[in-house]
Amino acid sequence: MKRIAIVGGGISGLTVAYALLNSSKFQVPSYKFEITVLESDSRSGGKIWTDKTDGFLCEKGANGFLDNKLRTLELCKSLGIEPVRSNENSKKRFIYLNGQLNALPESPLAFIKSDLLSFGGKLRMLLEYNAPKGPEDETVADFIIRRLGKEALEKLIDPMCSGIYAGDPYKMSIKSCFARIKELEQEYGGLLKALMQIRRKKKKELTQNSKLKTQNKVSVAPGGTLTSFYNGAQTITDALAEKLGDRLHLGVSVHGIVKNGNVYQLYTSKDTVEADIVILASPAYAAAEILKDFDIGISKTLSDIPYPHVSVVCFGYKKDKVGHPLNGFGFLVPHIEGRKILGTLWDSSIFPNRASEGYALLRTMVGGSKSPEIAALDDDKIISMVFDELKPVLSFKTDPDMIRIYRWEKAIPQYLLGHSKKVKSIEEQLKSYPGLYLTGNAYKGIGINDCVENGYKLADEIIANH
């Protein structure tokens, strides 16, 4: 029997543990592994954290996942939990430009007619067809400016980077953050060329087999519908924790690690844990601290992955106190607008059970890579600032009925230029330590889908090798 210690009880660590215990791919009986999950906090779930308060359901962190990855949906089925897909409002998204909300076009024709970009900006995007290929990796800003122009970067891509990563496109890696887009350029020579060839391929496949219409959708965009649960995103981590039972140990932090022969020893806040296999599923900065006296090289590389400060501010309102109909997903704010918020999501407009009847829940993000100091403001200043930013946009008539602030001093890992080289370097260095693994959202994808997929892949690797 192999003893496995998993450090970190977020979605990544919980998924690996569950996948190991329930794998049928290699017909592995559950007793092959003795699994212990160590979580330093008093709760599991990591940055998936749902707070039910005063008739509102507030997400402190991730609010869901796209339903375009089967692995997460299969996990939900295995756990016996029912996903809830966002409603039609989720398709209506807005960008705050020139002092007002502008709907994101839902078709090429609508985009041409929209006022999001100037005539020159739209014309520049059409020149993408003849733009040259770039290097293997580059910043998101360099890629977009070369292919689509600076206006497209500032008005469309910059707010997307803030909304997904709380990041700075002038520092983010296109290869690591938006791998599909970079792959299209490398494979087809450009985005428009890729779109045309993919459409031709799709048409040919549909002609050959009409069933492929639903089985093999090919698209430039990732697609999918935002999905969560009736009782919030924490439903999935709670279900995983329940399945693990007493294998999950809360309030146990790990301070260091040593290796004696083929056995690893973890020094924890309670005792020493011995394991044949160790999986560090904690944030990169936490893993760096654990490994600092074990391998300074790996530790240093991990500590070079930055996490900006982000605060989430939830306002609850009676709907008749908000002048805007809130008929959409929410809005993001380009940096060029000079505002102090990254954007606001209208959670109660897209998912059920987010607010009591007659009320609305608004969730605003502040801080991030470009303005981390704003996230560190005291409560009164943040509340006043968010209210002042939102009042002219959403026509507030009074103060909020409910206010909650959730602070993440180290929020989302940033995949900066050269990130893939960091990950490869870590993987090479880990080869010197059989049985030691790293997983989590700091390496190959920040979303719930990524964490679940990578968790299952790691479980398969461990089962195959041990």
Query: What are the pLDDT digits (tens) for 251-272?
Result: 999 999 999 999 999 999 999 9
343-377 pLDDT tens trace = 999 999 999 999 999 999 999 999 999 999 999 99
CATH code at 50-89+307-408: 3.90.660.20
12-48 pLDDT tens trace = 999 999 999 987 544 455 557 899 999 999 999 999 9
In the predicted structure, residue 214 carries a pLDDT above the cut 50:
no
Give the amino acid at 323. G
**CA angle at residue 235 from 224 to 69, to 5 degrees?**
25
| Residue 206, pLDDT score | 73
Which of 107-111, 271-275, 400-404, 435-439 has the weakest average pLDDT? Answer: 107-111
pTM beyond 0.85: the answer is yes
The domain segmentation of the chain, as residue ranges, is 2-43+233-306+415-465, 50-89+307-408, 117-215
**CA angle at residue 172 from 169 to 173, to 5 degrees?**
125
Residue 242: count other Cβ atoms within 10 Å of its Cβ. 12
| Residue 450, pLDDT score | 97
Identify the CA nearest to 300 among candidates 291, 308, 309.
Answer: 291
Which residue's structure tokens are 């779930």?
45
| Residue 222, pLDDT score | 55
Q: Which fold has domain 117-215?
A: protoporphyrinogen ix oxidase, domain 3 (1.10.3110)
Tokens of 198: 């993919």
Identify the CA nearest to 361 among candidates 388, 401, 333, 393.
Answer: 401
Segment 151-168 shows an average pLDDT of 96
Label residue 99 exposed, middle or buried (CB < 10 Å: 0-12, 13-18, 19+): exposed
CATH code at 2-43+233-306+415-465: 3.50.50.60
